[in-house]
Amino acid sequence: MKSVDLNLLIALDALLEEGSVTGAAKRMRTSTPTMSRTLARLRRAFGDPLLVRAGRRMVPTPRALALRDQVRSLVEQATGMFLETGAPDLASLTTTFTVQANDMVIGALAQPLLSTVHRQAPNVTVRFVPEHSGDNAPKLREGVLDLVIGAPDSTSTEVNNERLIVDRVRAVVRAGHPLLRGEVTRERFAAAQHLSVSRRGRLTGPVDDHLAEHGLRRQVVSVVPSWAASWHMVAQSDLVGLAAEKLSRQAVALLGLRTVRIPLQLPPIVIAQSWHVRNQADPTHTWFRHCVRSVFETWDADGQTAATSTPGPDEPA
């Protein structure tokens, strides 16, 4: 018997309902590239284009129209099977969720997430493990990890993604740092002594690439493997560190640090939660993902903080 991935039917239902790869991706809380790859798999599986572009829209082929009602019925039946089990009994739920993230995310998320979880399910344990650079899909598939929180996984069709927050890179310095006096230009920023964060000990990163475009180079005098360690060093020196503005807000405030807009056009930081497709409809897993989402929604709602310095020449306010 030919192997069939039933998750493809859920994706096909979303594509036919939305008539758009982007709309289907949003509906399934995954990325547009992931949904594009899923559509390619569906086309191969059915031997039909299924959706074709007509102007700015995508329209279903005759084969897709013939499949629409059948696919919808199958998805509703499958969903009904899960719904019949009812919502999880959170008061008596005893389980452990394992979440992989870097130490900046863990430092910001761990306590509010645990509080959110324990208000409903006091017997649940949340275990955080450090990020690693390998492929996370096998660990998610095997249940070693329940969630990965970090950059969206755009490499595996086994993994669903949900964007949680879009953050910005900021420089961090101690109160009274010389960089805080006057406008922070690219030249002044580059001339400072910098502290880098890298688990692999790398001396350069995206900031250096953008400085190089302007013929500038910063002096990295030290590299540490964790964000928390870097901020403690910054608090006791004239070193310039980096942080994600919203994620690090509480830690930066506790250490008395100041955030500084970097006068470069740096890309935003996109943080997502990623999980294996097998857990998509699991009621307990769905509830836990909602808990994670609710914490990040709070940060996104009130996460805008006042800037310490004026915008740089290439950065909008």
**Number of residues assigned to the chain:** 317
Residue ranges of the chain with per-residue pLDDT less than 70:
1-4, 79-86, 300-317
Last residue of a domain, one of 232, 260, 288: 260
Q: Looking at the structure, do residues 206 and 219 belong to the same domain, yes or no?
A: yes
CATH of the domain at 109: 3.40.190.10
DSSP string, 5-34: -THHHHHHHHHHHHSSHHHHHHHTT--HHH
**What pLDDT does residue 278 have?**
87
**What pLDDT does residue 236 have?**
96
Q: Looking at the structure, do residues 27 and 146 belong to the same domain, yes or no?
A: no
Range of the domain at 118: 90-165+269-302
**What pLDDT does residue 311 have?**
32
CB burial class (10 A; 0-12, 13-18, 19+) of residue 26? middle
Q: Cβ neighbours of residue 114 under 8 Å, at least 6 residues apart?
A: 126
**What pLDDT does residue 4 have?**
63
In a domain, residue 310? The reply is no
Q: How many domains does the chain have?
A: 3
- For 67-79, how does the pLDDT look when each residue is reduced to its tens digit (9 = 90+)? 888 888 787 777 6
- For 246-305, how does the pLDDT look when each residue is reduced to its tens digit (9 = 90+)? 999 999 999 999 999 999 999 999 999 999 988 988 999 999 999 999 999 887 654 433
Q: Looking at the structure, do residues 68 and 195 belong to the same domain, yes or no?
A: no
Q: Looking at the structure, do residues 56 and 176 belong to the same domain, yes or no?
A: no
Please give the Cα distance from 183 to 195 (Å, whole number).
Answer: 21
Q: Looking at the structure, do residues 77 and 41 belong to the same domain, yes or no?
A: yes
In a domain, residue 314? The reply is no
